[in-house]
Chains A and B, each alone.
Chain A
Amino acid sequence: MQPPRETDILDACRQGDRAAFNLLVRKYQDRVFQVVHRMVADQDDARDIAQEVFIKAYEKVAEFRGDAQVFTWLYRIAVNLSLNHIRKGRLRTFFSMSDDHHQIQDTSPSPSVSFEQEELRRLVRDGVDHLPEKQKAVFILRYYEELSYDEIATILKTSVGGLKANYHHATKKIEEYVKTRM
C-alpha cells in the first residue's frame, strides 16, 4: 500500500483530521526540532518551540495554500517563533533577570574528537549565536539545513540578493569572531 500523498494529508488536516496531522508531525518533527535547536541553542526551549510550531501549523493549515512545500512552510513558522523567542530572551537578559537562556550548550566531547576541535566548534557555535537575527537565520538555513537561496527566500519572505549578502556577512562575522578568540 502506498503512503498517502502530502496533498491528501493536508486536505485531511484541513478537515480537522488529527491522525493525518500526526503523520505530518512524525515526518517533520526532527527537521523542525533541529532548525529550532540551532536557532535557540537550549534543548528544552527548542523542544517547546518545535511543539509550538506544529500547534501553530495545525491552527493555520487552512490558510496554507500549498504553493510552497510543507517543510518550507513549517520552517517559516519555526524561524519566526525562534526569532520571537530570541528577542524575548535578549530583553530578559537586558533587564538582567536571567542570563541562562543564551548560554551555549556544550556538547560532550567525543573521545575521537580533540579538545582543540571541540573548542573550535564551540567558538563557531558561539559566533553563530552572536549573529544578528536575520543573518543567523540565513546562515543556519543555508549552511546547516543546506536549503537553496530560493527556499530560504520563501521562508524568510525576502529577496535572494539580500540573502546572499546576509550569508556573506554572517560567514565573515563568524570567521572574525573565531579568529579573534583563537
Chain B
Amino acid sequence: MMREHLSTSSSCAAEERELREFFSGILTRDIPGEGISDPGRFLVGVNAGIDRNARGYRPVLRHIGRPALFVPLFSTAVLLIIAAIVLFPSVETLDSQEALFSGLFNENDLLGIADLSPTTPMLDDIMIFEQSANRELISEEASSASDASSLNTAIDLTLLDDVPYSAVVSASLNYLSQEDVLEKLSDAEAESIVRELEQQKIRIL
C-alpha cells in the first residue's frame, strides 16, 4: 500500500528518499548492540525474582492492589503534581493553576489524604496553618477521644473542612517522601498521571 502511494506521490517519494539517505549514513544498528554481559548471573537473577514473587514478596506492588491504600496513594500523587506546579513556576501550562487544581482535586482526594497516615507529624504542621478556633475544637476532641487513631482522623477531617487546599498541600509536602510515593505508584497510576500532565499541556521531559 505504501509502495503504491509512493509511486503516485512524487513529494512523498522524494521525502521518503531523503529520509533513507539521511538515516543510511548515520544509524548503525549496532548501537548499543551488546548482549547480556554475564548470562549466568542474569539467569540467577531471573530465577531469584521468580522465587521471590512466588513467595509473595513484591516490594513495591504488594500493597497497591489494596483499595484502602490505593486512593490515598493516588491522592498523594495528585498532590505532588499540584505541588510541583505551584512550586516550580517555570513549568509551562496553558491553563491556569487554579483550573488544574480544581480539575484534579476533589473531596474524595482529600478524604484519602486524611486516611493516608494519621499518626505522622504531618498533622502537627497542618495545625500551624489552622486558626485558633480550630485549635480549640481539636483540643476538645483530643480530651474526649480514647483512641489515638480516631482522634487523628477527627482532627484531619476538622482541619480539612476549613483549611485551604493549598495549605494542606504545603504542609503535606514537608513530610512526604516523593521518592517513596513514586516508587509505590502502580504502572497504571504512573501512566494516568503522565497522561494528565500531557493533557494539561505541562511540559514533561
| Contact present for B46 and A144 (CB under 8 Å) | no
The interface residues of chain A lying within 8 Å CB-to-CB of B133 are none
In the complex where A34-B35, A94-B84 touch, is A47 in contact with B27 (Cβ < 8 A)?
no
Q: State the interface size on chain A (CB cutoff 8 A).
A: 46
A93 to B179, CA, bound (A): 11
In the complex where A22-B43, A90-B194 touch, is A172 in contact with B19 (Cβ < 8 A)?
yes
Interface of B is mostly: helix
| Contact present for A29 and B36 (CB under 8 Å) | yes
The interface residues of chain A lying within 8 Å CB-to-CB of B197 are 94
Report the interface size class on chain B.
35 or more
A-B pairs with beta carbons under 8 A, tally: 108
A107 CB within 8 Å of chain B? yes
| Contact present for A38 and B50 (CB under 8 Å) | no
B178 to chain A, nearest CB (A): 5
A134 CB within 8 Å of chain B? no
The interface residues of chain A lying within 8 Å CB-to-CB of B178 are 95, 97
The interface residues of chain A lying within 8 Å CB-to-CB of B190 are 84, 87-88, 91
- Cβ proximity bits A96-134 to B, threshold 8 Å, 1 near / 0 not: 110000100101000000000000110011000000000
| Contact present for A90 and B47 (CB under 8 Å) | no
The interface residues of chain B lying within 8 Å CB-to-CB of A93 are 204-205
| Contact present for A178 and B36 (CB under 8 Å) | no
Chain B residue, CB-CB nearest to A164: B2
Segment of A1-9, A48-56, A62-70, A151-159 in the binding face: A48-56
| Contact present for A47 and B36 (CB under 8 Å) | yes
| Contact present for B53 and A29 (CB under 8 Å) | no
The interface residues of chain A lying within 8 Å CB-to-CB of B193 are 91
| Contact present for A94 and B53 (CB under 8 Å) | no
A70 to B197, CA, bound (A): 35
Chain A residue, CB-CB nearest to B84: A95
A43 to B37, CA, bound (A): 10
Which residues in B have some Cβ–Cβ distance to A below 8 Å?
Answer: 2, 19, 22-23, 26-29, 31-36, 39, 42-43, 45-47, 49-50, 53, 80, 84, 88, 178-179, 182, 185, 187, 190-191, 193-194, 197, 204-205
Instruction: List 19 extra interface pairs beyond A121-B31, A174-B23, CB under 8 A.
Output: A25-B43, A29-B42, A30-B35, A30-B36, A33-B42, A34-B33, A34-B34, A47-B36, A55-B50, A59-B53, A84-B187, A88-B190, A90-B205, A95-B182, A124-B27, A125-B31, A144-B31, A175-B22, A178-B26
